[in-house]
Chain A
Amino acid sequence: MINRYITLFLAAFLTLASCSNDEAVLEAPLRICLQLPMNLENATLEQADVTLVNIETTAHYSVGDFKHEGNGYVATAVVPEGRYNVTASGNISYSIGSTVTATNVKAEALGVEVTNAGSASSVVTLLFNNYNAEAGMVIEEVFFTSSTFSGTQRPYTDDQYLILTNNSDHLIYADSLAIVESKFQSDMQWELTPDLMKDAVTVSWLYLIPGNGTSVPVEAGESLIIALNAKNHTLINPNSIDLSGAQFEFYDVSPNTEFFDEDNPDAANLIKWYSDLWSYTMLGNKGTKSYGIVRMHCDYDSFVENNYYKYNYLVNAAWGTYESTGDGYFIPNSWVIDWVNLAIMNEWAWNVASPMLDSGWTYCAETSSDKSRYGLSVIRKRDESGRLVDTNNSTNDFLPRQKPSLSN
Chain B
Amino acid sequence: MTIKRTSLTLLLLMVVTTINAQTKITGIVLDKATKDPMIGATIAVNDNKNVAAVTDLDGRFTIEVPNQATVTIAYVGYKTLVEKAHDGVYLIESQTNALGEVVVTAQESQQLSTSSVIGRHAMDHLQPSSFGDMMELVPGGRAQDPHLTSPSTISLREAGGGDANYATSSLGTSFMIDGAPISTNANMQHVSGGTDSQSLKRDFTNQGVDMRTISTDDIERVEIVRGIPSVEYGDLTSGLVKIERKRGGNNITARLKADMGSYLFYVGKGLEWQPRKLSINLGADYLDSRIDPRNTLENYKRFTLSARLHKAWSSERFSTSLAVNVDYTGSFDNDKTDPDLNEGAVDTYKSSYNRWAIATSFGLKPTNHDSWFKALNATLATSLDNDNIKREKFIQLRRATIAATSMQPGESDAVILPYSYTAQHRVEGKPFNLFLKVNGKLQVPSTRISNTLLVGVDWNVDKNYGKGQIFDPTRPLYPGMSGRPRDISQIPAAHTLSLYAEETLKTTIAVGTVELVAGVRGSHMMNLSSRYALSSRFYWDPRVNVGWTFPQFNVGNDVGYVKLTAGLGQHTKMPTIEHLYPEAAYIDLVQLNYYNPNDAYKRINIMTYVIDPTNYDLRAARNFKWEIGTDVNIAGNRLSVTYFRENMTSGFRSTAIYSPYDYKLYDTSGVDGSTLDGPPAIEDMPFEAVRELVAHLRYSNGSQTKKEGVEYTFASRRIEKIHTRLTINGAWFRTVHRNSVALMERPSQVVGDKQIPFVGIYKDIEGYTDEMVNTNFTLDTDVPRLKLGFSISAQCLWYTSNQREPISNYPDQYIDLDGNIHSWSPELADDPYLRYLIRNNTESMYDLFKVPFSMNVNFKVTKKFFNDHLHIAMFCNKIWDYTPSYERDGVTIRRHVTPYFGLEMNIKL
Contacts and interface: CB of A to CB of B under 8 A. Distances in A.
Contacts of B604: 260
A326 B840 contact: yes
Interface in A260-298: 260-265, 271-278, 280
A278 B750 contact: yes
A316 B841 contact: no
A257 B345 contact: no
Nearest to A285: B398
Contact of B748 (A151, A261, A262, A278): A278
Contact of A237 (B419, B606, B755): B419
Interface in B834-850: 835-836, 840-845, 847, 849
Interface residues of A, number: 55
A324 to B, nearest CB: 6
B850 to A, nearest CB: 10
B832 A305 contact: yes
Given A324-B840, A325-B840, A260 B480 contact: yes
Interface string B723-762: 0000000000000000000000000111111010000000
Nearest to A327: B840
Given A308-B835, A316-B891, A323-B843, A257 B404 contact: yes
Contacts of B893: 318-320
Given A319-B888, A323-B842, A323-B844, A272 B849 contact: no
A156 interface: yes
Contacts of B842: 312, 322-325
A29 to B, nearest CB: 50
Interface stretch (A30-38, A52-60, A248-256, A384-392): A248-256
A354 interface: no
Nearest to B746: A278
Contacts of B556: none
B692 interface: yes
Nearest to B419: A236
A305 B398 CA distance: 36
A319 B597 contact: no
B590 interface: yes
A300 B752 contact: yes
A252 B595 CA distance: 14
A320 B840 contact: no
Name the residue among A155, A255, A262 with the largest chain B CB count within 10 angstroms. A255
B697 to A, nearest CB: 15
A258 interface: yes
B399 A158 contact: yes
Given A257-B588, A257-B590, A325-B841, A272 B398 contact: no
Contacts of A320: 847, 849, 888-889, 891, 893
B527 to A, nearest CB: 36
Contacts of B595: 231, 262-265
A258 B480 contact: yes
A256 B591 CA distance: 10
Contacts of A318: 891, 893
A157 B597 contact: no
A170 interface: no
A265 B669 contact: yes
A265 B751 contact: no
B398 A258 contact: no
Contacts of B836: 327
Interface in A302-340: 304-305, 308, 312, 316, 318-327
B345 A260 contact: no
B275 interface: no
Given A257-B480, A265-B673, A324 B845 contact: yes
A244 B750 contact: no
Contact of A262 (B398, B593, B752, B832): B593
Interface in A138-158: 146, 149, 151-158
Contacts of B751: 273-274, 304
B345 A152 contact: yes
Contacts of B100: none
B844 A156 contact: no
Which of B692, B755, B845, B849 has the largest number of chain A CB atoms within 10 A?
Answer: B755
B343 A153 contact: yes
A87 interface: no
Contacts of B752: 272-274, 300, 304
Contacts of B628: none
B3 interface: no
A320 B804 CA distance: 15
A308 B832 contact: yes
A276 to B, nearest CB: 5
B403 to A, nearest CB: 7
Given A152-B345, A253-B753, A322 B845 contact: yes
A229 interface: yes
A308 B844 CA distance: 23
22 contacts: A152-B344, A152-B345, A154-B345, A154-B398, A229-B400, A253-B665, A253-B753, A255-B590, A255-B591, A255-B663, A257-B482, A260-B400, A262-B593, A274-B751, A276-B749, A304-B751, A318-B891, A320-B888, A322-B844, A323-B843, A325-B840, A327-B836
Given A156-B399, A321-B891, 15 more contacts: A146-B398, A151-B343, A152-B344, A156-B396, A229-B399, A253-B753, A259-B480, A260-B593, A264-B597, A265-B673, A277-B748, A322-B889, A323-B843, A325-B840, A327-B840
Interchain residue pairs A-B with the least CB separation, the first 8: A325-B840, A258-B480, A321-B889, A320-B888, A255-B589, A323-B844, A158-B399, A152-B343
